Structure 1
Amino acid sequence: MSQTQQTVREDGIIASVSGPVVSARDLDARMNDVVYVGDEGLMGEVIEIEGDITTIQVYEETSGVAPGEPVENTGDPLTVDLGPGLLDTIYDGVQRPLDVLEDKMGSPYLDRGVDAPGIELDEKWEFVPEVVEGDAVEPGDVLGVVEETVTIDHKVMVPPDVEGGEITEIKSGSYTVTEPIATLDNGEEITMRQEWPVREARPSETKMTPRTPLVSGQRILDGLFPIAKGGTAAIPGPFGSGKTVTQHSLAKFADADIIIYVGCGERGNEMTEVIDDFPELEDPSTGNPLMARTSLIANTSNMPVAARESCVYTGITIAEFYRDMGYDVALMADSTSRWAEAMREISSRLEEMPGEEGYPAYLSARLSEFYERAGAFENINGTEGTISAIGAVSPPGGDFSEPVTQNTLRIVKTFWALDADLAERRHFPAINWNESYSLYKEQLDPWFQENVDPEWPDERQWAVDVLDEEGELQEIVQLVGKDALPEDQQLTLEVASYLKEAYLQQNAFNPNDMYCSPEKTFTMLTTIHHFNDEAFQALEAGVPVEEIIDIDAAPRLNRMAVQDDWKEYMADLRDDIQAQMRELY
């Protein structure tokens, strides 16, 4: 946090305490001001003002805080520090660096009231200017570059809220984030550090229609339900269906420049796995550590509930900062249900009128505000950047009719529905192809046609049609059995089984299958389509369906994904399928 306790003044006293919600009397404050509560100086935020009573949500445990203790106001809203050092860092929900606090406390168990800046103020960075004295600059313009990590060049920009002007001095060399690196003719000194209120979107020039896919490396996502760079997606599913694992895979393999992973109220063991796992992972696109382009925000279920409500805003503000540099950012929020539950708890303590299932009436508005900050943007400095927001939803009992899922569905354009039955059958990713959808398909098809194959939309539609027909046929099979179906429908069921087992399933533990490029995704689908065409041709020639599905080449379809030399393997497989089918008639 940018605020320190040295900058505050005593302004009021505590009137009452109700969990994370504290009421103060005679506090001179505005809405969303950050305050320090009690003798220990616990950080909080003003959320309601009525007469001389100010209501505060506190971001830390409030046990032991008593009426009569002081409340001090900073006069500033909740902000984040922005500058070099955001990447390869783990924060809590209000941007306190957890590793710094651990070193400060000498223990992973943090005392209340401890604080630290969001970025290291004393570390020096090698600044390389890209402008010269006499150049005119405007808000958002890039002044120079710092090598933040081995993967990412950090672009030092004129803050959006600073008036532009002509550069009278520009420096080069090693500086801390608080030392001026440029001076304008209006006397404004610019440093590498910016501050920005988390609840206010950073400005942009225009919001554009996204036209490029966020390639995930997951066949069912890229092949059937793609998301755009700058798009929004929801991953709802019951406990154990794979929401977190799906987001982990996206964070590892999605072709974004920057990953912001927000662990919002999830179980501590899941976040521990992320914290332990990510530093060990290699970025598949560069070979460098994955953390070199990742920032983690950890606010687990055992952390204070109020900080959970702010953590998604912290994450999206950091994402906007890198978007302004022209980067493609992918933000994972796991999960927005826990965020909504935090809102519900605070709302109930405020005694607000509850909406459906006790959630506040403004639930839909808050979800909209969050997802609307994603998108493909032309920035104020003329560059283009994107933020893709992917939120996990944890509906109780897997009930997609509950308020958080339904309100999210009205906002996002991609819906990846996880299915407990598929997960129990060990079908992963356990995404239900009958319930999922993407509204980005048509606007992304030109990219796939140009960069993969002109037949991409047609092949995808064929797969969807087969799966739809298989779903209808399964209802009949349940009544009369498979043998009662005509032979062409029996063959359709066989083709659909290869689509489900060979194409839609993916092995996250096999190095050849954990990531699947769009080219490989397309080739696998066309190989199954080739089997379909040859099989129906043999059926029309009078070959019994049992002989068709019994050819030696057919089971090899299930081994396509794990081959090192998949191009050669699938080319040979298509030849074998054709030869063996035509031997039958």
Structure 2
Amino acid sequence: MENKGIIYSVSGPVVVATDVNGKMFDVVRVGNLGLVGEIIKIVDNKSTIQVYEDTSGLKPGEPVYSTGKPLSVELGPGLLKSIYDGIQRPLDVIKSETGDFIVRGASAPPLDENKEWDFKPILKEGDEVNQGYIIGEVQETELIVHKIMVPEGVKGIIKEIKEGKFKVSDTVCIIENEKNDYEIKLKQIWPVRKARRVFLKFAPEIPLITGQRVIDSFFPVAKGGTVAVPGPFGSGKTVIQHQLSKWSDADITVYVGCGERGNEMTEILTTFPELQDPKSGKPLMEKTILIANTSNMPVAAREASIYTGVTIAEYYRDMGYDVALMADSTSRWAEALREISGRLEEMPGEEGYPAYLGRRISEFYERSGNAQIIPEDDRVGSVTLIGAVSPPGGDLSDPVVQNTLRVTRVFWALDASLASRRHFPSINWLNSYSLYLDSLSGWFKNNVDPKWMDVHSLMMSTLQKEAELQEIVQLVGYDSLPEKQKNILDIARVIREDFLQQNAFDDIDTYCSIKKQYEMLMIIKTLNDYQEKAIDSGRKVSQTSALPVRAKISRMKEVKEEDFEKFYNDIIKEIADEYGTIIEGVQNV
């Protein structure tokens, strides 16, 4: 390598070197071991480098080499089913070479350089192409067809295009224009800090269906949307992200474990290969990419892991896929920024975080969106960003939480008290919100039922009234309430226990289709309507709550999807019959 410099000083993950002759954000190899680092500051002939590996043992005088290129990822067939660290080193490959622990300075190609892929062109010689055009396809997994695209800045006429089996570094197409001939390979390289450009971003009008009732029915997120999931330790952030990774209707899932405990990533690594995609029945790993940067890995690599994940997500979005990225958690990423900033002796902002924390968080979430990729065709893809935040003690005034809430449009407020009562998902329905409700209402009305928003409003208002009545109950007691208010408490309990509560470990309850969710809500609405009629006719809530149909309603989430339509019709009839009998009995008396 050229551009050789010398280490001047070492301070944790930050190294200062002289005479490196590199540019800002260039990747460098540091020391005799060749540790991976990135230039983050240049003053005179001194370059400050954040090193993505353990720097213990480095000493002044060791060499530093600049690669002359920014931190980049390789994008091509073979990404799916892979497990990377924060700087896209394939952990399974490194394990086979060095053992269970990553040796410092270890590296391996992100994509398998020896595997041959079956490339099928969809364009022909003489076709005129521009950046973003799809020139051919590779069947990457049984679920996903990998589209080979013309890289950014390349346009011209196809001079040659091949068909057959190729490695990722092989040339499959040559594009010529007035200036140069460009060789197109199965892989391309992209700097992680640069967002991939699109032609047009659309308003968020299609929901990301997750199969989690409290999310889909109460606080939905749009495809291409942004979500903040803050909560204290043990409140279920990771469980929610695991559920969304397993069951959301995104075509591809990128899961970034950013500074979390190793056992949480281990759970993903052990469970995902055994899980099946609900739509195809194939293993879930066929559409998943894992980036593992756990708490015992070098702190600087946490910052890179977020950008690595979102760059891979954008790449598959450009093919026309809907991608969901789970970042767990952005608090650990922000702590990495804080440590690096402290080592650089920068002026600290609130609670010691760097003053540019808000800008960095905004830049990350701005890479979401539902977009048309190029003007020449109607290819549309999306990146949905779901970021867990782990504020100390669950303090929502934490700078990371507040800066995240400024840029995200969905807030799933996790509640430790709900988690301690074993109510999962522990999303507090009084504190959470979704700013996508208005834009998604048209989809729900057209694809589920025209009365969707009316039912949603009724359920939310019932839960809000229950919270108000709970304060009165603590003062005067339940028995002092009028029957109408007792009914509100009764229906709210049904909503909480029989609808919102969902068992992630139950084979039936772990996923609930949007059609079943609506029918469950309609059962509760019908129950409420008949209870109000019974109260108007003189019956008490204590009498109606003892009816046999109530026991069946409490078990409705245990009914399988294929049996639910029959169950729904039967239960609506039973509610009408049983309540009609007691209402008629009162009137006859």
Equivalent in the alignment of 2:329: 335
Q: Does 1:139 align with 2:169?
A: no
Q: 1:276-301: CA deviations, max 9, x gaps?
A: 11111111111111011110000000
Q: Does 1:456 align with 2:452?
A: yes
Once residues 442 and 421 of structure 1 are traced to their aligned partners in structure 2, the CA distance between those partners, rounded to angstroms, is 30
2:417 aligned to which of 414, 421, 426: 421
Equivalent in the alignment of 1:4: none
Equivalent in the alignment of 1:466: 462
Q: Does 1:182 align with 2:173?
A: yes
Equivalent in the alignment of 2:263: 269
Paired residues of 1:20 and 1:58 also in contact (CA < 8 A): yes
Equivalent in the alignment of 2:587: none
Once residues 331 and 295 of structure 2 are traced to their aligned partners in structure 1, the CA distance between those partners, rounded to angstroms, is 12
Following superposition, the deviation at residue 316 of structure 1 comes to: 0.3
Q: 1:534-578: CA deviations, max 9, x gaps?
A: 000010011122212221211222200111222222221221122
Once residues 436 and 58 of structure 1 are traced to their aligned partners in structure 2, the CA distance between those partners, rounded to angstroms, is 39
SS in 2 for 1:583: helix
Equivalent in the alignment of 1:150: 142
Aligned residues: 576
Equivalent in the alignment of 1:211: 205
Matches within 5 A, 1:420-569: 420-564=416-560, 565-569=563-567
Paired residues of 2:9 and 2:60 also in contact (CA < 8 A): yes
Equivalent in the alignment of 2:190: 196
Pairwise CA RMSD: 0.9
Q: 1:53-90: CA deviations, max 9, x gaps?
A: 11000000000000111110001000000000000000
Deviates more, 1:503-512 or 1:361-370: 503-512
Equivalent in the alignment of 1:579: 577
Following superposition, the deviation at residue 362 of structure 1 comes to: 0.6
2:101 aligned to which of 90, 105, 109: 109
Equivalent in the alignment of 2:117: 125
Paired residue type of 2:576: Q
Q: 1:381-405: CA deviations, max 9, x gaps?
A: 6311100000001011011111111
Q: 1:187-224: CA deviations, max 9, x gaps?
A: 21111110000000011111111210000000000000
Following superposition, the deviation at residue 9 of structure 1 comes to: 2.1
Q: Does 1:63 align with 2:56?
A: yes
Q: 1:514-548: CA deviations, max 9, x gaps?
A: 10011000000010010000000010011122212
Equivalent in the alignment of 1:170: 161
Once residues 336 and 275 of structure 2 are traced to their aligned partners in structure 1, the CA distance between those partners, rounded to angstroms, is 32
Paired residues of 1:260 and 1:319 also in contact (CA < 8 A): yes
TM-score (norm 1): 0.97
Equivalent in the alignment of 1:5: none
Once residues 444 and 338 of structure 2 are traced to their aligned partners in structure 1, the CA distance between those partners, rounded to angstroms, is 42
Once residues 281 and 108 of structure 1 are traced to their aligned partners in structure 2, the CA distance between those partners, rounded to angstroms, is 25
1:38 aligned to which of 31, 49, 63: 31
Equivalent in the alignment of 2:242: 248
Deviates more, 1:543-552 or 1:110-119: 543-552
In structure 2, stretches of 5+ residues that fail to align are: 584-589
Once residues 137 and 122 of structure 1 are traced to their aligned partners in structure 2, the CA distance between those partners, rounded to angstroms, is 29
Once residues 335 and 132 of structure 1 are traced to their aligned partners in structure 2, the CA distance between those partners, rounded to angstroms, is 45
Paired residue type of 2:469: L
Following superposition, the deviation at residue 19 of structure 1 comes to: 0.5
Once residues 352 and 555 of structure 1 are traced to their aligned partners in structure 2, the CA distance between those partners, rounded to angstroms, is 62
Deviates more, 1:397-406 or 1:544-553: 544-553
2:80 aligned to which of 84, 87, 112: 87
Paired residues of 1:10 and 1:70 also in contact (CA < 8 A): no
Following superposition, the deviation at residue 10 of structure 1 comes to: 4.7
Q: Does 1:390 align with 2:380?
A: no
Paired residues of 2:3 and 2:21 also in contact (CA < 8 A): no
Following superposition, the deviation at residue 185 of structure 1 comes to: 2.3
Q: 1:350-389: CA deviations, max 9, x gaps?
A: 1111111111011110000000000011102631110000
Paired residue type of 2:523: T
Q: 1:158-211: CA deviations, max 9, x gaps?
A: 1113x2111111100001111110111232111111000000001111111121
In structure 1, stretches of 5+ residues that fail to align are: 1-7
SS in 1 for 2:383: strand
Once residues 208 and 492 of structure 1 are traced to their aligned partners in structure 2, the CA distance between those partners, rounded to angstroms, is 40
SS in 1 for 2:582: coil
1:314 aligned to which of 304, 308, 331: 308
SS in 1 for 2:7: strand
Paired residues of 1:13 and 1:70 also in contact (CA < 8 A): yes
- Structure 1 residue runs of 4 or more that deviate by more than 6 Å after TM superposition: none
Alignment identity in percent?
55
SS in 2 for 1:433: coil
Following superposition, the deviation at residue 581 of structure 1 comes to: 1.2
SS in 2 for 1:247: helix
Once residues 564 and 426 of structure 2 are traced to their aligned partners in structure 1, the CA distance between those partners, rounded to angstroms, is 24
Once residues 366 and 31 of structure 1 are traced to their aligned partners in structure 2, the CA distance between those partners, rounded to angstroms, is 17
TM-score (norm 2): 0.97
Q: Does 1:23 align with 2:23?
A: no
Once residues 561 and 43 of structure 1 are traced to their aligned partners in structure 2, the CA distance between those partners, rounded to angstroms, is 51
Paired residues of 1:44 and 1:59 also in contact (CA < 8 A): yes
SS in 2 for 1:404: helix
Once residues 426 and 443 of structure 1 are traced to their aligned partners in structure 2, the CA distance between those partners, rounded to angstroms, is 33
Once residues 269 and 530 of structure 1 are traced to their aligned partners in structure 2, the CA distance between those partners, rounded to angstroms, is 45
Following superposition, the deviation at residue 244 of structure 1 comes to: 0.4
Paired residues of 1:264 and 1:338 also in contact (CA < 8 A): yes
Once residues 577 and 455 of structure 1 are traced to their aligned partners in structure 2, the CA distance between those partners, rounded to angstroms, is 20
